[in-house]
Every structure is written in structure tokens, then in C-alpha cells.
């Protein structure tokens, strides 16, 4: 098992390898902001740190589309 925070290498958006400090997500949830169409995406790391992000509906759709494509490619589909 890895430490909750560690360094890893990703392929950045410009295609070059880039070192990133990352934390594994232990828990996540998506909730709707009251009286708004925006969403709040909250994540808790394996180390217990929590962070919430306010996301516009169009951006949430884009995030979902990218996650779907990346997950499909990682699973061979």
C-alpha cells in the first residue's frame, strides 16, 4: 500500500511527462448548491484531508465526459 501522499509522473496536457504530488481519494461526494445549478464536488484523502470545489454545470459535464473517456481507455474499451 502506498503512503496517502506520494510523487507520481503524469502525461501533462501538452504531452510531456510531469512530476506531481498526489493524494489518493478515500471518499468523494457530489451535491447541488442550494438555489443554484452549480455542483459541489467534495473529496477526502486517505490521510483525512477534505477539500470541496464549486463547479458550474457545464464544467461538471465536461469532467464527466473526460472521466468516461479516460476510464474506458484504461479498461481497454
pLDDT of amino acid 2: 57
For 10-36, what is the mean pLDDT?
A: 93
Q: Where are the beta strands (DSSP E) in the chain?
A: 5-11, 17-23, 25-32, 39-45, 50-55
Determine the Cα–Cα distance for residues 30 and 55; give it in Å rounded to an integer.
Answer: 10
Which pTM value belongs to this model? Answer: 0.75
Whether residue 1 is predicted with pLDDT greater than 60 in this model: the reply is no
Residues 34-60 pLDDT 10s: 999 999 999 999 889 999 999 999 999
Amino acid at each position: 500500500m502506498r503512503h496517502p501522499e506520494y510523487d507520481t509522473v503524469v502525461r501533462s496536457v501538452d504531452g510531456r511527462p510531469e512530476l506531481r504530488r498526489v493524494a489518493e481519494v478515500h471518499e468523494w461526494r457530489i451535491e447541488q448548491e442550494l438555489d443554484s445549478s452549480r455542483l459541489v464536488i467534495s473529496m477526502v484523502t486517505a490521510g483525512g484531508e477534505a477539500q470541496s470545489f464549486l463547479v458550474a454545470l457545464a464544467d461538471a459535464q465536461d469532467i464527466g465526459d473526460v472521466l468516461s473517456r479516460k476510464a474506458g481507455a484504461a479498461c481497454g474499451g
